[in-house]
Chains A and B, each alone.
Chain A
Amino acid sequence: MTTPKIEMKGVKKAFGNNHVLNGIDLVVPAGKSMVIIGGSGTGKSVTLKCILGLIQPDEGSIKIDGEEVTKLRQNDRDALMTKFGMLFQGGALFDSLKIWENVAFGLIQGRGVNRKEAREIAVEKIKSVGLKPEVADSFPAELSGGMQKRVGLARAVAASPDIIFFDEPTTGLDPIMADVINHLIVEQVKEIGATALSITHDMASVRTIADYVAMIHEGKIIWTGPIDELDDSGNEYVDQFIHGRADGPIQRRVA
């Protein structure tokens, strides 16, 4: 049996009395695209940040390529980070740097590539996400939200990482731009042969980018399966979520 790219077992995380993750079990096969769906506040972002090491889980195991990563020393953690790429929900572009410097940031600062070579790679990546090369010398504040997402995507794939994380990649975009971003994600992930783990509550996004889907509810994975089985999951929580119905087992607190 091949080793999963990412494996989470019994991961728990609480902030004070707020138990966000209540024992997450998740397996992401190598080279596949897993999408975690679930409502706001169910623990999607915390799950992602636990894998990335941005949040330390209270309990449980997280393995990358079969290696436990929850108790890594700083140097080993830094080395592990070179395997990762991440597209943040708001782009998280560095305002003080030009677009090409943003895209090449991990190459120059993290891997010591010289600026000339890094710029060439960055401009290629900028073109590959459908932006004009002239954008390279602009600053993030000069770009629209959709363009910033594309730059964020270019930055996430610039160093050809093994695993790419997408945090709500289509939030705040119009449906057409969202579709463009979704297709770019599929294209870029396939091109570099990476494993992808995304979180979203946009079902159009799920159907475009997912090979596998996992549904998170109240800090637990309550269903997981291939995208083809999503509509016939037999899980009433999943059915309610993917059809966006107010009635069902998931009761949202409005107040």
Chain B
Amino acid sequence: MDSSQNQINPVFAPFQVVGQILLAFFEKAGRLFMFIGKSLYHSIVPPFFPAQLWRQLVDIGYYSLPVVGLTALFTGMVLALQSYTGFTRFNAESAIAGVVVLSITRELAPVLAGLMVAGRVGAAIAAEIGTMRVTEQIDALTTLSVNPFKYLIAPRLIAATLTLPLLVFIGDIIGVYGGYVVSIYNLGFSPGGYLSQTWDTVQTMDIVSGLIKAGAFGFIVAMMGCYHGFNSGRGAQGVGAATTNAVVSSSILILVFNYILTQVFFS
């Protein structure tokens, strides 16, 4: 073909660039949505791999407990301290217990647990599956008549979606306890008064909304880890990039979906 036919009028060049960017974006989005669809299908259609699911429940849930627990504890403690500093200016110290419990259950426990799990679990999932891709272990699964979506993706997706709400529920209790400890032993509140304030303030929806958010964040973390690992580039650099992309994309999506879910629950 004559090369002059491929030359584009400079006036239209920006449209070409925009078109290429849009096409690339839609191609990536399409690939991601197809991956999500396939993952969901294989998560609900047998055969299942219960041993793999159990392993992931332990890896993602049980081993994340110290990280989430410590995060919640110190978040509750610092929240009580900061609230006290601010509220004394308005003689509103009695509101501290309510602020701690609402902030923890509605926002901080699910978001911070989601971000911590994204760093710990999302990275591990992307690195493990990425290494399996690079070393042909995923191809090996296929040749051994085992669907990689059922064996690798579905157990991680189910485990993360189920365990993050449990972790957040425990994080809620530990976070409130952190606020309680600081308020009682540092700020001189009465234990009974603090607890009754907490109990009077919190409502079922505050806790439930946080747990629903946690389930969504668990899904996001596992999905991003699996997607980037499964589509990892070659070599150590490819796996490294997959791991970084998994953590960054899941962290951003957690913050975006936190806003959307908050809008849905409380607007």
A residues lining the B interface (CB < 8 Å): 49, 52-54, 74, 78, 81-82, 84-86, 88-90, 92-95, 105-106, 109-111, 155, 165
Contacts and interface: CB of A to CB of B under 8 A. Distances in A.
B147 interface: yes
Contacts of B145: 78, 81-82, 106, 109-111
Interface string B128-164: 0000000111011011111100010000000000000
B142 A109 contact: no
Given A54-B142, A81-B142, A81-B143, A109 B136 contact: no
B49 interface: yes
Q: Which of B136, B140, B144, B146 has the most chain A CB atoms inside 10 A of its CB?
A: B144
B143 A52 contact: yes
A93 B136 CA distance: 9
A93 B137 CA distance: 7
Contact of A109 (B49, B137, B139, B143): B49
Contact of B139 (A92, A95, A155): A92
A81 B144 contact: yes
Contact of A105 (B135, B136, B144, B147): B144
Contacts of A88: 136, 139-140
26 contacts: A52-B139, A54-B142, A78-B145, A81-B142, A81-B144, A81-B145, A82-B145, A84-B143, A85-B143, A86-B143, A88-B140, A92-B135, A92-B136, A92-B137, A92-B139, A94-B137, A94-B140, A106-B144, A106-B145, A109-B49, A109-B145, A109-B146, A110-B144, A110-B145, A111-B145, A165-B143
Contacts of A94: 137, 140
A94 B140 CA distance: 9
Of listed A54, A84, A88, A92, residue having the most chain B CB within 10 A: A92
A119 B151 CA distance: 20
Given A106-B146, A109-B151, A110-B146, 8 more contacts: A49-B139, A54-B142, A74-B147, A81-B142, A85-B143, A92-B137, A109-B146, A111-B145
A148 B91 CA distance: 72
A90 B136 contact: yes
A155 B140 CA distance: 10
Contact of B146 (A90, A95, A105): A105
Contacts of A49: 139
B142 A90 contact: no
Contacts of A78: 145, 147
Given A109-B49, A109-B151, A92 B140 contact: yes
Contacts of A82: 145
A165 to B, nearest CB: 8
Given A90-B135, A92-B135, A109 B144 contact: yes
Contacts of A106: 144-146
Contacts of A109: 49, 144-146, 151
A114 B144 CA distance: 16
A52 B142 contact: yes
Contacts of B142: 52-54, 81
Nearest to A79: B145
Contacts of A90: 135-136
